């Protein structure tokens, strides 16, 4: 019988917490001195392991431990209680500040303020619209083939909310945007592209040509080649 | 200008009283668990740190954290396992930082300042074995360490250990088996 497998079985039994060996092991131990010695050494080792672990895990607890914990808990409970009313007032104050901020922002958005003011400072070409001011509407581009004639369109006030598309401009970008808008009269096509809606997408049919495969020429394999 | 009444004293008092009653109830419930679970937190920390002062600090911190989050615990029956996990995690963190500090001090200290290695004659065999066991235990994976410690604490069955760790009993047995084999291999 293989002593290695017997010794492995002995170790596994002790590791599993079983002190009683199988009949196969017992029978082998009767006739094998080295395995009996191994059994004895494993027995001592695992008993020492168990005792050592119990010594580590069951150290006496200091008598002052629980009283100290209780006093810390009392202190923590007191802190939680005194914190609550302050938290309530802080929340109310924060809600009031938030409400005031929202009202201020709403009020600002309703007025055509900064962009309008900045746009006025930029030199403008006469007869062309500026953002938010009484201005003529942008005339449509003439049909191809016809001579281009500049029409005089009556001046009409274009309020902010009637201009399309609406643009939300960040505060730090208002100046740049105002300059861009001021340049639009010089870039007529760009202005029209911004003012007019995008054309609907059209499905362009794709032409697919048939693939022609010419006749293939397959030379025969050389005789005696390796497979 | 419309006057807004933000504070209604009567209603606030009722709400405060209800909150106070709830806090008191939770405090009493936590204290009821303290008698049994306080020592458990200490023993778990002690098992990792093997230093009573550090274990006491860690166990106190673990109990305090558990107390602060006690109202969020949905099932009170899971309190013991929850506390064990908090204690074990805090103890491991403390142990790792102590090891790093020790390594730094050993690395940077002058040779004459390092502690002399203990002589073979000076140490009893049992103490030497215990020291070797502790070193071997430190090298085990976390899930093996915790299961060995909990199974070794007096008064806890394998079923209770499985409940604390929220794993099946078979998993506990399997981890114990592998952990003991690894320890035996290191200590033979």
Q: Among all residues of chain A, which has the CA nearest to that of B136?
A: A49
Six token digits for residue A49: 């392991």
Chain position carrying tokens 């939770």: B26
Looking at the complex, does the CB of residue A8 fall below 8 Å from at least one CB of chain B? no
* B51 vs B118: which has the higher pLDDT: B51
Note whether A45 contacts B152, CB cutoff 8 Å. no
pLDDT for B14: 62
3-state secondary structure of A166: coil
Tell me the DSSP string of A150-163. PPPPPPEE--GGGS
Integer angstrom CA distances of residue B106 from A131, B42, B50, B94 = 74, 29, 20, 18
B positions 83-112 inside 8 Å of A (CB): none
pLDDT for A115: 47
Looking at the complex, does the CB of residue B59 fall below 8 Å from at least one CB of chain A? yes
3-state secondary structure of B43: helix
3-state secondary structure of A134: strand
Q: Please report, rounded to a whole number, the percentage of residues in chain A having pLDDT higher than 70.
A: 56
Q: List the one residue out of B64, B43, B71 whose CA is nearest residue B55.
A: B43
Other C-beta atoms closer than 10 Å to the C-beta of A7 total 18
The residues, ordered by sequence, that sit 6+ positions from A154 with a Cβ below 8 Å of its Cβ are A136
Mean pLDDT over residues A47-59, rounded? 92
Looking at the complex, does the CB of residue B128 fall below 8 Å from at least one CB of chain A? no
Note whether A15 contacts B133, CB cutoff 8 Å. no
pLDDT for A95: 74
Mean pLDDT over residues A5-28, rounded? 88
Residues from chain B contacting residue A15 (CB–CB below 8 Å) = 177-178, 180-181, 184
Note whether B180 contacts A15, CB cutoff 8 Å. yes
Mean pLDDT over residues A168-189, rounded? 74
Q: Please report, rounded to a whole number, the percentage of residues in chain A having pLDDT higher than 90.
A: 19
A positions 57-116 inside 8 Å of B (CB): 57-59, 61-62, 65-66, 68-70, 72-73, 76-77, 80-81, 84-85, 92
pLDDT for B5: 41
Interatomic CA distance for residues B166 and B160, integer angstroms: 9
* A170 vs B168: which has the higher pLDDT: B168
- Substitution target from B18, B63, B154 for chain A, most A beta carbons within 10 A: B63
| A30/chain B closest Cα distance in angstroms | 24
pLDDT for A119: 42
Report residue B115's pLDDT band, with 50, 70 and 90 as the boundaries: low
Judge whether residue A27 has pLDDT over 80. Answer: yes
pLDDT for B13: 55
Tell me the DSSP string of B50-85. --HHHHHHHHHHHHHHHHHTGGG-S-GGGHHHHHHH
> Is B161 in contact with B172 (CB distance < 8 Å)?
yes
Six token digits for residue A79: 């802190």
pLDDT tens digits, one per residue of A93-118: 677 778 788 878 777 776 655 444 44
Chain position carrying tokens 């004895």: A40
Residues from chain A contacting residue B130 (CB–CB below 8 Å) = 52, 55
The whole-chain average pLDDT of chain A stands at 71
């Amino acid at each position: 019988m293989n002593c290695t497998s017997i010794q492995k079985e002995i170790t596994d039994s002790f590791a599993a917490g079983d002190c009683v060996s199988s009949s196969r092991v017992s029978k082998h131990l009767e006739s094998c001195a080295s395995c009996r010695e191994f059994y004895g050494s494993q027995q001592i080792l695992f008993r020492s392991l168990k005792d050592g672990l119990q010594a580590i895990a069951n150290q006496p607890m200091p008598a002052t431990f629980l009283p100290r914990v209780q006093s810390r808990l009392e202190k923590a409970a007191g802190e939680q209680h005194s914190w609550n009313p302050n938290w309530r007032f802080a929340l109310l104050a924060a809600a009031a500040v938030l409400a005031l901020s929202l009202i201020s922002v709403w009020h600002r958005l309703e007025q055509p303020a900064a962009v309008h003011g900045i746009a006025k400072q930029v030199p403008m070409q006469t007869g062309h619209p500026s953002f938010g001011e009484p201005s003529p509407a942008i005339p449509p581009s003439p049909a191809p083939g016809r001579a281009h004639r500049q029409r005089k369109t009556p001046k009409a006030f274009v309020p902010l909310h009637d201009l399309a598309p609406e643009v939300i401009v960040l505060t730090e970008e208002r100046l740049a945007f105002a300059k861009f808008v001021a340049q639009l009269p010089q870039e007529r096509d760009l202005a029209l592209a911004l003012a007019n809606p995008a054309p609907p997408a059209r499905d362009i049919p794709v032409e697919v040509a048939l693939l022609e495969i010419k006749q293939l020429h397959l030379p025969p394999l050389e005789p005696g080649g390796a497979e | 200008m419309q006057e807004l009444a933000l504070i209604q004293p009567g209603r606030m008092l009722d709400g405060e009283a209800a909150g106070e009653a709830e806090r008191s109830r939770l405090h009493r419930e936590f204290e009821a668990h303290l008698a049994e679970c306080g020592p458990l937190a200490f023993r778990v920390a002690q098992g990792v740190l093997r230093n009573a002062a550090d274990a006491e600090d860690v166990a106190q911190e673990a109990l305090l954290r558990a107390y602060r989050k006690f109202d969020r615990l949905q099932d009170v029956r899971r309190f013991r396992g929850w506390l064990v996990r908090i204690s074990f995690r805090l103890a491991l963190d403390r142990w790792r930082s102590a090891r790093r500090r020790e390594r730094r001090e050993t690395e940077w200290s002058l040779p004459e300042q390092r502690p002399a290695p203990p002589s073979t004659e000076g140490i009893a065999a049992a103490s030497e074995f215990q020291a070797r066991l502790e070193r071997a235990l430190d090298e085990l994976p976390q899930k093996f360490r915790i299961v060995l410690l909990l199974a070794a604490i007096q008064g806890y069955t394998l079923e209770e250990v499985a409940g604390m760790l929220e794993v099946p009993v078979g998993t506990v047995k399997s981890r114990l088996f592998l952990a003991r084999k690894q320890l035996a291999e290191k200590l033979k």
